[in-house]
Structure 1
Amino acid sequence: MASLMALTALGAREPAVVEIGPLRITERTDLALASVAARRGRMADLATAAKVAGVPLPEAARHQAGAPYSAFWTAPEMWFVEAPFGSHELIADLLKTALGDAASVTEQTDAWVAFDLAAPDLTPVLERLCNVDFASAPKGYATRTVMEHLGVYLVKLDQGAVRLYGPRSSAESLLHALEGVAVSAW
């Protein structure tokens, strides 16, 4: 019988934690992720079902925290929904049941790597990596941007806290870019 072992996006048994100066980069393996898109002409039905299920559907360029679900806007009538992996490993199935046929739901957990960045001020790092005016972006801002030729989602959790979602297949490249910029910033 095969003995399978789960590995992180970086190929390790445990999530990576890197500290450079005041910056702490933490690989997040404890998050489940799914995309939710309203079906044509069904946005009102989706909004009703999401409210009942406790799934936030924030406005454009916004992230909304909640329990157990958090979400951020990705496109018109489309969101990424996050939840704790331990209780929502099958997040897509849970959301399909809760939202019914008003939404198209796809599993995204293993397609993305998530990194949380924490420092007293992340502006020196992020201004070198992307075109987001991080210093003036409000808490809860969410956007798609490019870092080192990689399409990523950036979610501003606070002035000193950001969550980045990047392609899982490029996890090492994204971490390398974060480390290199951190060294030059501090």
Structure 2
Amino acid sequence: MHKLKPITPLGTETPRVDQIGTLTISEVVDQALASVAAREGQLDALTKAFPLTLPDVGTSATQGDLTAFWTGPDQWMISANHDQHELLAAEVKHLVGTTASVVEQTDGWCRFDISGAALCDLIERLSNVPVRSMATGDVIRGTIEHLGAFLWRLAGDRMAVIAPRSSAASLHHALVAAARSIA
């Protein structure tokens, strides 16, 4: 029998945390993800069935254990603590029934949370996203160091960068290199 063990997107057993000057770059692995896309003509039924008010373009919303952010027309990414919602996609599908298509996304993405006083300086070195004008809860789909990513403002000095898991090492390298150029 195989002895499998989970690894982080960076290929280690524990999430990586880098402290560089005033910046902290943390690999986040404790969130389950599921995508939700309203089916043709079902948006109203979906919004009634879902226990969270689905956010508008460029924003996020949290209610209880669930957080959602807009990813495209009539599409959202749902996030929740993995320990409490390991089967998040199945839970969401049970709630929305045939009003939406739901796809498990947890292992398809990597997430790095960046915090510190020089947050905006770091993001501006890697992306043209208007980070200084983003309010808490804003989400922009853009590029960071030529990689497609979601940039999510979590607080004044904290941001999540969510990108495809296959680019985790490249993204991490870019974040660390930019942080070192500031420190």
Could you say which TM-score interval applies, normalised by the shorter chain? over 0.9
Q: Does 1:178 align with 2:175?
A: yes
One-letter amino acid matched to 1:179: V
- Once residues 66 and 32 of structure 1 are traced to their aligned partners in structure 2, the CA distance between those partners, rounded to angstroms, is 15
- Once residues 25 and 56 of structure 1 are traced to their aligned partners in structure 2, the CA distance between those partners, rounded to angstroms, is 30
Contact in 2 for aligned 1:122/1:159 (Cα 8 Å): no
Match of 2:25 in 1: 25
Q: Does 1:14 align with 2:14?
A: yes
Contact in 1 for aligned 2:46/2:99 (Cα 8 Å): yes
Give, in angstroms, the shift of residue 66 of structure 1: 2.8
- Once residues 125 and 101 of structure 2 are traced to their aligned partners in structure 1, the CA distance between those partners, rounded to angstroms, is 36
The gaps in structure 2 that reach 5 residues or longer are none
Give, in angstroms, the shift of residue 143 of structure 1: 1.1
Give, in angstroms, the shift of residue 48 of structure 1: 0.2
Match of 1:125 in 2: 122
One-letter amino acid matched to 1:10: L
Give, in angstroms, the shift of residue 60 of structure 1: 0.4
- Once residues 118 and 4 of structure 1 are traced to their aligned partners in structure 2, the CA distance between those partners, rounded to angstroms, is 33
Match of 1:89 in 2: 86
Contact in 2 for aligned 1:139/1:158 (Cα 8 Å): yes
4+ residue segments displaced more than 2 Å: none
Q: Does 1:152 align with 2:152?
A: no
Match of 1:39 in 2: 39
Normalising to structure 2: TM-score of the pair? Answer: 0.97
- Once residues 157 and 121 of structure 1 are traced to their aligned partners in structure 2, the CA distance between those partners, rounded to angstroms, is 15
Q: When the two structures are aligned, how many residues end up with a matched partner?
A: 183
Q: Secondary structure at the match of 1:3?
A: coil
The within-5 A match list for 1:101-120 is 101-120=98-117
Deviation string, structure 1 residues 64-90 (Cα, Å, up to 9, x no partner): 123210010011110000000001111
Q: Secondary structure at the match of 1:86?
A: coil
Q: Secondary structure at the match of 1:124?
A: helix
The gaps in structure 1 that reach 5 residues or longer are none
One-letter amino acid matched to 1:46: L
One-letter amino acid matched to 1:148: E
Contact in 1 for aligned 2:52/2:62 (Cα 8 Å): no
- Once residues 56 and 184 of structure 1 are traced to their aligned partners in structure 2, the CA distance between those partners, rounded to angstroms, is 40
